[in-house]
Amino acid sequence: MSKNNAPEKVLQEVSVRLSGLNVSHTTEKKNRELQDPRSSAEFTPPGSPLDDDVDFDDGERENWSGKLDFLLSCIGFAVGLGNIWRFPYLCYSSGGGAFLFPYLTFLIVCALPLFFLETSYGQFSSLSPITVWRICPLFKGIGYGMVIISGIVCVYYNIIITWTFYYLFSSMQATLPWSTCGNWWNTPACVVPGATSNVSDNGPIENAMTASEEFWEFNLLQRTSGLENYGSIRWPLFGCLVLSWFLVFLCLCKGVQSSGKVVYVTATFPYLVLAILLGKGLTLPGAKVGIWWYLVPDWKKLMSFKVWGDAAYQIFFSVGMAWGSLITLSSYNAFNNNVFRDAMIVPCINCFTSVFAGLVIFSVLGFMSYTTGLPIDKVVTQGPGLIFIVYPEAVARLPFSHLWAIFFFLMIFTIGLDSQFGMFETMTSAFIDEYPLLLRHKKVQFTAFMCVIEFLLGIPMIFQGGFYLLTLMDWYSSCFSLMLLSLIESVIISWIYGVDRFMKDIELMIGHKPFCYWKYMWKYFTPAIVTGVWIFSLYQLKRVTLGSYEYPDWSIAMGWCLALLSILPVPIYAIYKVGGETEGTLTQKILKLIQPAVNFGPSRDEDRARYFASFDSFDWLRHEATKANQDWRTYQRKNPDSGKNLTSSNVALIQELTSKAAADGISLAKDNEDREDVRLSVIEIEMQYRLDSRTFVKRKDCDEEGRPSKRGLVRCYSV
């Protein structure tokens, strides 16, 4: 039914009757409000969710289309190559099964709280890592730091995918090229472990290299002597690099609408392959010995501080905090998604995957030890050497070796691709959310542009000396910046934004407050643990090495520049923001800039209404101070009554306005007069008129008399 005239009259009377509540009504904007209720600041009480001078939503933001899209995307991002090539070695060298005790301890006290924290405020705001710092504008540099880290790692992570493609295509030859000597790239020192030809007439071959090592060094990399002798481009790798970035573009060109479908394959396929490889590995001779070395506990090693530090370091980097990807992926969730459930599932699956992958790796390494006669400690390794030298060599000894090699490298490809999804989407979403009017409707073009930029940056690493550059970038790019960003992030959310306010935000999303355990972890224990791990990482950080090669001093300086590149935006942006403030003392400027921006909060109007309805007096004070462009202390001194709830003398006014609205066919919640905070009732009434100022459609959650039948419903009629 049409009620254009009735709301107009009521608006005029409400404007007068609420004048004592500092509610303004600007008549010259009346016509514009009737055209678009969201376009006007007309009749806006302090803290209204619909402020004229603030941009809340610059366009339609995409969301996950399936229930499992987010969960699988997070699993795919968190489960990376580190689960395959680093954890098994750490577990073996740090006490076997005993290493699981510190590993799971840090999962509970560090990984779970930080994962829950990042996914919660990402989902709550529906914003990517830069724009989400409306929560505390002074520290927006944290978001820039996260995007820089993701951008740098994206460059060399795709080089690993490039190598994987090279091995995958090589697996399709008649003979696995890393299984024999006598090829054009082999040297006289080439040996096949376990073969009788490894002994010459003069005895064992000195400085021998396995066929698998020589394929890696002299065929794929063709590595030069160092950065000083960079060599020429490897054109086969160039083609694989083009292919890898083309696949990234195809999977991400439509954002989460396309990647959300791809992860159903890429996030589950590795588990299928791992299960098949484990089943095969357990049947091999020597497999039980390998698994015994992997899992047998050595409790004495738990007395070593280094073992605990390695466990914390591994869990931190494995789960993926402070990369910005968790914020980005969760920002595409529906507001009422059960983020707590997802935040508990993903890190646990990540830890399970690490242990499971170790069983697969060590069952095959035990077989390799059995066939070569070498002790297990001479076979096991970590890093790229594990998946590109040791494991391919072991696969070459299996029946149907080509099939197992294809399976293995397809698994490595999908694991790398999933992690690439999260990091690359972090970059693109960050820019699109910062410049939505310019980029939101050009998602495909912008994704293509970013792929080309990252591709060009990766070309130096497919030169013959490129492996030296990749190692340098991997060593320094995120060596200590991730933990420092994560530490600042947790302190800001808990101490500046307010952990109690944050708990209310989570309650709005999942329907109940999280257990108080999370509150104390976020405020005290987790920041202390991250600080300890950060100090440990600095203590462990040494000059980068690659075998016997010593990096020149200028390259070390370049590495430290990379390390600082993601940290410097934090102080630089803070100084820039403070310098841009023209009024107040330094303390007042800082206090104003650490207040949440007026446009921080849920993206949808109905969720913003619930958000503002949950404000306490301090939340209102801080919000009103931000609108007045002041810090809350200054604003409170100038406005002593600001932030306080309205007195009970206004209850009669609320009742009268509610009755008049009902008489004119506009149904409001009937329990307004029972609210302890009468201010919220005023806001609900104001929002009701603004949103129902044209045509009214009865909602299904209301009874025949127009009263809400669903708790928390603000209005019964909507445009």
* pLDDT, tens only, 603-631: 888 888 888 888 888 888 899 899 999 99
Number of domains in the chain: 1
If you average pLDDT over residues 16-36, what whole number do you get? Answer: 37
Asked whether residue 413 carries a pLDDT value surpassing 90, the answer given is yes
Determine the pLDDT at residue 375. Answer: 85
What is the structure's pLDDT at 72?
94
**Is residue 174, in this structure, part of any structural domain at all?**
yes
Q: In this structure, is residue 297 part of a structural domain?
A: yes
What pLDDT band is residue 191 in, cutting at 50, 70 and 90?
A: confident
pLDDT of residue 579: 95
- Residue-wise pLDDT tens digits, 514-539: 999 999 999 999 999 999 988 888 88
Over range 488-495, report the average pLDDT.
Answer: 96
pLDDT of residue 538: 85
Closest by CA to 121, choosing from 523, 526, 621, 490, is 490
Q: Is 453 exposed, middle or buried (0-12, 13-18, 19+ CB in 10 A)?
A: middle
Q: How many CB atoms lie within 10 A of CB 215?
A: 27
- Whole-number average pLDDT of the chain: 82
The verdict on residue 369 lying in a domain is: yes
pLDDT at 427: 95
Q: What pLDDT sits at residue 55?
A: 44
Asked which of 25-29, 70-74, 235-239, 359-363 is least confident by mean pLDDT, the reply is 25-29
For 318-377, how does the pLDDT look when each residue is reduced to its tens digit (9 = 90+)? 898 999 999 999 999 999 999 999 999 999 999 999 999 999 999 988 988 888 788 888
Q: For residue 471, is it within any domain?
A: yes
276-290, 521-535, 660-674: the lowest-pLDDT one: 660-674
pLDDT number for residue 50: 34
Task: Supply the pLDDT for residue 25.
Answer: 34
Residue 373 belongs to what H/E stretch?
Answer: none
Q: Is residue 45 part of a domain?
A: no
Rg (CA), the chain: 30
Q: Are 120 and 339 in contact (CB under 8 A)?
A: yes
Its domain, for residue 365, covers 69-565
What's the pLDDT band for 665 if we cut at 50, 70, 90? low
In 288-298, which positions are buried (b, 16+ CB within 10 angstroms) versus exposed (e)?
Answer: ebbbebbbeee
Best-predicted range by mean pLDDT (89-103, 564-578, 594-608, 704-718): 564-578
- Residue ranges of the annotated binding site for Na(+) are 76, 78-79, 83, 318, 350, 418-419
Residue 698 inside a domain? The answer is no
* Average pLDDT estimate for 67-72: 91
For 395-420, give the secondary structure using H, E and C. HCCCCCHHHHHHHHHHHHHHHHHHHH
The verdict on residue 659 lying in a domain is: no
Greater confidence (207 vs 377) lies with: 377
Does residue 37 have a pLDDT over 50?
no
DSSP state letters, 147-198: HHHHHHHHHHHHHHHHHHHHHHHHTTSSS-TTS-S-STT--TTEE-TT-GGG
Query: Is there a domain that residue 353 lies in?
Result: yes
11's enclosing H/E stretch is helix 5-17
Average pLDDT score over residue span 262-279: 93
Q: How confident is the model at residue 14 (pLDDT cuts 50, 70, 90)?
A: very low
Asked whether 626 and 595 are in contact (CB, 8 A), the reply is: yes
CATH number reported for the structural domain that contains residue 172 in this entry = 1.20.1740
Tell how far CA 512 is from the center of its chain. 24
- 8 Å CB contact between 242 and 208: no
What is the reported pTM?
0.82
Q: Which residue has the higher pLDDT, 617 or 140?
A: 140
Q: What is the mean pLDDT of residues 210-238?
A: 94
Average pLDDT over residues 124-137: 96
- Residue ranges for the binding site? 76, 78-79, 83, 318, 350, 418-419
pLDDT of 540 reads 81
